[in-house]
Amino acid sequence: MNGEKRRIRVLMAKPGLDGHDRGAKVLTLGLRDEGMETIYTGLRQSPEKITQAAIQEDADVIGLSCLSGAHKYLFPRVMELLKQKGIEDVLVVGGGIIPEEDIPFLKGKGVSEIFGPGTAIKEIADYIRANVRR
Amino acid sequence: MANNLEEIKKERQEWEERTLKPALKRFNLEKSPTKFYTPADVEDFDFLTKVGFPGQYPFTAGTYATYPYRPAPRRGVVQAAGLRRASMYSGYGAPEDCRDYYKEMQKRGQRSGPNLALDLATQCGYDSDNPIVRGEIGKTGVAIDTLRDFEVLFEPFQGEMNLDRIATNITINAPANILMAMYFALAEKRGIHLNKLAATPQNDILKEFIARGTYIFPPRPSMRMMRDSIVFFTKYTPRVNITSIGGYHMREAGCTREQDLAWSMAILEAYLQEGVNAGLDVDSFAPRISVNAFGGDMEFFSEVAFQRAARRMWAKILKEKFGAKNERSLLLRQSLMYAHMGYYNCTKQRPLNNLARSVVGGMASALSGGPPNCFPPYDEALGLGWSLEASQLSEDASRILQYEAKLTAVSDPLAGSYYVEHLTDEIEEAGWKELEKVESMGGIVAAIENGYIQRELAKSAYKREKEMESGDVLRVGVNCFVGESELEVEVKRSVPHPYDAARREEAEEKQIHNLAEVKRNRDNRAVTQLLKELEQKAKKEDENLIPQFTECAKAYVTEQEMCDVLREVFGEYEAATF
């Protein structure tokens, strides 16, 4: 390290079979404009593949997007796999169509924050900058 | 036009100087916030070529001579509840759960066939017991693995609602031919001849590569599947629509109005060409291509113009490019949803505002040749599935537009408006321009393969987001009017959704169990043999696979077993990332 701070690396991921990736794509471009390095996994990624990609890409942040209603299985599964690999310092945030009442459950599983429809890119970028753990 | 255009132009200049300018000065405005249109903005306007009568070429004024609006109820007459809800997109859980839902809806007055939502595993060609679909079973719709599941699901549809008496809609796309084959197998088992069946599969695979994402095979073999649908349905199931198509999903995914129009038309052209290449007369199958929805945005006049332009383009493509002679081929037939607010415009913030937004969409629809439907129910952004209360308000809003505001009393009431005619021409022209661009690349399939469409779509979606952030596009309660003086209106949804949440949670385990039982009880040797035959037939480009799918379905071959054979032969689509 030469003392210069490296850019925050974000892996935008679509777990499960949901094909609605407008939000994931927009954030991939938007966080890039906010000065972060972003990688988009593409559709239909298993939690295993996402975890693998996060390790390979040395991601500081994983953004999980799901609009199919399968978030209650998929998001905790990603958290579980990260834990199994001994990765505790990656910030995981989520978005999509997530009912209010599911948010405490997801946070209990280790997802840091859920951003719903209408959230500005800047708000997400600021949150990431304030909460990134490495 | 009787007006002297030169005189109008001259008068306009004088008006700007003498009347407009002083007004701007008085209000301290640099530029006028309003525009004004005159006959000079539609110089070559000719009523018969540009608009015509409703139900006549070029169909600008409407697809049909009149829309079959439901007559007003007499005082005191209460219409059966749930009649319209019946055809709402619905389905959840295991087939048993969904069956019971339809039984319940029939008790509430449903007399029409189901408009089936399937879960993502089914839409992507996976069985419920595949580990990679964990968490998805029964979520976005009902899970279907084998014919057994259709047998259970369609139990409530017997007698006066048997398969030859109802129309069934299935949103299925990539594996459409397999699911339709299951439906055909079910009909055969009930002794119903295929030519009696009425159904509409959403079998619009090309837009899945652009939006929505439930593709399986690469574009070319997917088009072969489409050819099979066109040829088989035309020959054997004349009352089954080949597919419903339409740009609504692409608009939801972020494309612009013009891209929506152009890419939808490019998709239409690709399907038409596929049928023609298979040796069919265009008039023999074009009338069986319907539209699920086009467009969707808050900009009222633009969406009205869009609907008018879309009908005109559709008719021109069929008549001028494909030489269709049958009037029915020229009709852009939409189902329930015409112009509307755009579901992506629904906000989670102060969600009841979505009701106001949906009314704007309903008005646009009623004034552009559609029903006054106010879609979607206001709680769209709050989670999967609508509450009955939200659905009630949506339905009431439509009734108010029709019976109280009388918006449906005149067909195409904005025809002849200088502004709306100008806008219609403008949108149509932009549509043709983008369509020509796609055609110059070799058509929509090539433009998907080379990534052009996907790239442009992402660009448009991002541009829109930037406009939201800069305030060029405003959403009340989201990026404006969010200060402390605003009241955060909370809405309680006390009426439970008719889907049983507990059953939805248990559906995955139940369906895995159901599937295991089917696999135990079927003749597995026959299954192996049928799949081997399927493989051989799939390798022959000219072979129509639907009869083989039907044989497989009757032997309880699973959806994924059939898809896996095709995955081997056709390959799988890998979307380019960026």
DSSP per-residue string spanning B441-495: TTSHHHHHHTTHHHHHHHHHHHHHHHHHHHTSS--BTTTBS-STTS--------S
Helix B219-236 vs helix B559-570: angle between axes, to the nearest 10 degrees? 130
**In Å, how far from its chain's centre is CA B2?**
41
State whether A44 and B347 contact (CB < 8 Å): no
CA A55 to each of CA A5, A48, A49, A86, B79: distance values in angstroms, whole numbers, following the listed order = 20, 11, 10, 11, 60
Residue A1 included in any domain: no
Residue B57 included in any domain: no
What is the ipTM metric for this complex?
A: 0.89
Tell me if chain B has a CB within 8 Å of the CB of A77.
yes
- B576 CA: distance to closest CA in chain A (Å): 8
- A131 CA: distance to closest CA in chain B (Å): 23
Interface probe with B: pick from A17, A43, A81, most Cβ of B within 10 Å = A17
Cα–Cα dist B364/B341, whole Å: 9
Residue from B236, B100, B86 nearest B155 by CA:
B100
Residue B346 included in any domain: no
State whether B136 and A16 contact (CB < 8 Å): yes
- A119 CA: distance to closest CA in chain B (Å): 8
Tell me if chain B has a CB within 8 Å of the CB of A68.
yes
**Which DSSP string do the residues of B120-135 spell out, in sequence order?**
HHHHTT--TT-GGGTT
How many Cα neighbours within 13 Å face the side chain of B542?
Answer: 1
CA A51 to each of CA A44, B138, B367: distance values in angstroms, whole numbers, following the listed order = 13, 25, 51
CB B114 within 8 A of CB B482: no
pLDDT at B324: 98
> Does one domain contain both B175 and B92?
yes
pLDDT at B85: 42
**Chain A, nearest residue to B455 by Cα:** A25
Selecting from A69, A98, A117 the residue whose C-beta is nearest the C-beta of B140 gives A69
Residue A4 included in any domain: no
Residue A30 included in any domain: yes
What sign results for the dihedral spanned by CA atoms A102, A103, A106, A108?
negative
Residue B394 parent element (H or E)? helix B388-399
Question: What's the structural domain count of chain B?
Answer: 2
For residue range B432-488, list pLDDT tens digits in order. Answer: 999 999 999 999 999 999 999 999 999 999 999 999 999 999 999 999 999 999 998
> Does one domain contain both B109 and B185?
yes
- B526 CA: distance to closest CA in chain A (Å): 31
Residue B441 included in any domain: no
**Reported confidence tier of residue B82, pLDDT bands at 50, 70, 90:** very low
DSSP 3-state assignment of B12? helix
What sign results for the dihedral spanned by CA atoms A114, A119, A121, A123?
negative
**Chain B, nearest residue to A42 by Cα:** B577
For residue range B217-239, list pLDDT tens digits in order. Answer: 999 999 999 999 999 999 999 99
pLDDT above 60 (res B69): yes
pLDDT at B78: 55
Q: If you average pLDDT over every residue of chain B, what do you get?
A: 94
**Reported confidence tier of residue B108, pLDDT bands at 50, 70, 90:** confident
Q: Which residues of chain A neighbour B213 with C-beta distances below 8 Å?
A: 18-21, 43-44
Residue B233 parent element (H or E)? helix B219-236
For residue range B493-543, list pLDDT tens digits in order. Answer: 866 667 888 998 999 999 999 999 999 999 999 999 999 999 999 999 999
Query: In chain A, which residues have pLDDT < 50?
Result: 1-2
**Looking at residue B69, what DSSP letter applies?**
P
Residue B314 included in any domain: no
Question: What's the structural domain count of chain A?
Answer: 1
Residue B276 included in any domain: no
Residue from B215, B422, B150, B217 nearest B304 by CA:
B422
CB B247 within 8 A of CB B206: no
Q: Which residues of chain B neighbour A70 with C-beta distances below 8 Å?
A: 120, 135-136, 139
Burial of residue B310 (number of CB atoms within 10 Å: 0-12, 13-18, 19+): buried
Selecting from B135, B212, B346 the residue whose C-beta is nearest the C-beta of A73 gives B135
Selecting from A42, A68, A73 the residue whose C-beta is nearest the C-beta of B134 gives A73
Cα–Cα dist A25/A45, whole Å: 15
Which phi and psi (to 5°) does residue A104 adopt?
Answer: -60, -40
**Looking at residue A100, what DSSP letter applies?**
G
Selecting from A44, A68, A99 the residue whose C-beta is nearest the C-beta of B139 gives A68
Tell me if chain B has a CB within 8 Å of the CB of A19.
yes
- pLDDT, mean of residues B1-5: 68
Selecting from B136, B469, B475 the residue whose C-beta is nearest the C-beta of A70 gives B136
Selecting from B349, B469, B577 the residue whose C-beta is nearest the C-beta of A42 gives B577
Helix B546-554 vs helix B219-236: angle between axes, to the nearest 10 degrees? 80
Residue B501 included in any domain: no
| CATH number where A87 lies | 3.40.50.280
- B423 CA: distance to closest CA in chain A (Å): 28
CB B63 within 8 A of CB B473: no
How many CB pairs (< 8 A) connect A and B?
A: 101
Residue from B71, B444, B405, B502 nearest B271 by CA:
B444
Contacts of B361 (CB under 8 A, 6+ apart): B296, B298, B303, B339, B340, B341, B342, B374, B375
Which phi and psi (to 5°) does residue B555 adopt?
Answer: -95, 15
**Chain B, nearest residue to A25 by Cα:** B458
The pTM (predicted TM-score) of the whole model is 0.94
pLDDT above 60 (res B80): no
Domain that holds residue A98: 9-129
Selecting from B349, B384, B458 the residue whose C-beta is nearest the C-beta of A118 gives B349
State whether A21 and B124 contact (CB < 8 Å): no
Domain that holds residue B522: 86-202+511-578
CB B43 within 8 A of CB B5: yes
State whether B347 and A21 contact (CB < 8 Å): no
Residue B396 included in any domain: no
Interface probe with B: pick from A11, A12, A26, most Cβ of B within 10 Å = A26
Residue from B420, B427, B433, B430 nearest B41 by CA:
B420
- pLDDT, mean of residues B302-310: 98
pLDDT at B490: 78
**Looking at residue B343, what DSSP letter applies?**
G
Which of B109-118, B315-324, B418-427 is the least confident region?
A: B109-118
Q: Which residues of chain A neighbour B121 with C-beta distances below 8 Å?
A: 17
Residue A3 included in any domain: no
For residue range B255-304, list pLDDT tens digits in order. Answer: 999 999 999 999 999 999 999 999 999 999 999 999 988 899 999 999 99
Residue A2 included in any domain: no
A 10 A CB-CB count for B211 gives 24
**Reported confidence tier of residue B86, pLDDT bands at 50, 70, 90:** very low
Contacts of B541 (CB under 8 A, 6+ apart): B224
State whether B121 and A18 contact (CB < 8 Å): no
> Does one domain contain both B19 and B120?
no
> Does one domain contain both B23 and B115?
no
**Reported confidence tier of residue B386, pLDDT bands at 50, 70, 90:** confident
Selecting from B135, B461, B478 the residue whose C-beta is nearest the C-beta of A118 gives B478
CB B505 within 8 A of CB A69: no
Selecting from B140, B381, B382 the residue whose C-beta is nearest the C-beta of A68 gives B140
pLDDT over 90, % of chain B: 86
- B368 CA: distance to closest CA in chain A (Å): 28
Residue B445 included in any domain: no
Interface probe with A: pick from B92, B118, B120, most Cβ of A within 10 Å = B120
- Residues of B engaging A, defined by a Cβ cutoff of 8 Å: 120-121, 123-124, 126, 132-136, 139-140, 208, 211-214, 252-254, 344, 346-349, 381-384, 458, 461-462, 465, 468-469, 475, 478-479, 575, 577-578
Interface probe with A: pick from B206, B379, B465, most Cβ of A within 10 Å = B465
